[in-house]
Amino acid sequence: MAQATLTISSKNYSSWSLRGWLLCRMAGLDFVEILVEMDDEARQELLLLSPSVLVPRLTHNNVAVWDTLAIAEYLHEIYPKAGLWPTNQAARARCRSISGEMHSGFHNLRSALPMNLKSTHASFKIFSGARPDVERIKTIWTECLEESGGPWLFGTEPTVADAMYAPVCSRFRTYSVALEPLLAAYAKTVLSWPLMAEWTAGAMAEPDEIIELEVEF
């Protein structure tokens, strides 16, 4: 059986790579990472293997899966006991809904506050177009945490939703977004997750800096 692979790009900047990687690790998949360096000549060739020309891209048993939510659903089929989605149907529906919201929305937040694990900015004025995104995310987290009791969005174990919002926790830290205690505790849970620590260590070791993704002040 061929070794499963996950094609990803920069650990410092690529939030979708982080989500895909977290999902694979949460599922317990044995895989090797194919890191497409931002300035690598092989990058285009590797990315072209993914019809969307985007990462993450998973290969498993000669099946190629691209797009993060498709990867989540594929992993859930392969590892149904991994708990990627909540077992309760209503919670699962909400988990899918808020994961979908992250997947298809929050464009202003994503462009105004790009993921940059290496960076922190003590005072950052959030562009007015991104503020509704921040408020909506706070509402989502509050509702989930109040319903489930935390520390993760759907209770005692991380689910797809936590992987989807993990890069947001890092963005809120990078750009010093103020959070009320319940949400600050949630962000702390995510940022101190051993998987996040492992990914962040990889980001810190990356030499490249992408000027376009460095927010200027």
Binding region for ligand GSH (CB under 6 A): 9, 14-17, 47, 54-56, 67-68, 103
Least distance (Å) between residue 147 CB and ligand GSH = 26
Pairing between β-strand 4-8 and β-strand 63-66 as defined by DSSP bridges:
unpaired
Q: Cβ closer to ligand GSH: 47 or 169?
A: 47
Least distance (Å) between residue 52 CB and ligand GSH = 7
Q: Cβ closer to ligand GSH: 40 or 146?
A: 40
Least distance (Å) between residue 88 CB and ligand GSH = 25
Beta bridge partners of 5: 32, 59
- C-alpha of 194 from chain center: 14
Alpha helices, H only, 28-67: 43-48
Beta bridge partners of 34: 7
Least distance (Å) between residue 151 CB and ligand GSH = 26
Q: Cβ closer to ligand GSH: 56 or 155?
A: 56
Q: How many residues does the chain have?
A: 217
Q: Which two tokens stand for residue 128?
A: 């007015």
Q: Cβ closer to ligand GSH: 16 or 165?
A: 16
Least distance (Å) between residue 136 CB and ligand GSH = 19
Strand order across the beta sheet in which 31-35 lies? 31-35, 4-8, 57-60, 63-66
Pairing between β-strand 31-35 and β-strand 4-8 as defined by DSSP bridges:
parallel
Q: Cβ closer to ligand GSH: 52 or 62?
A: 52
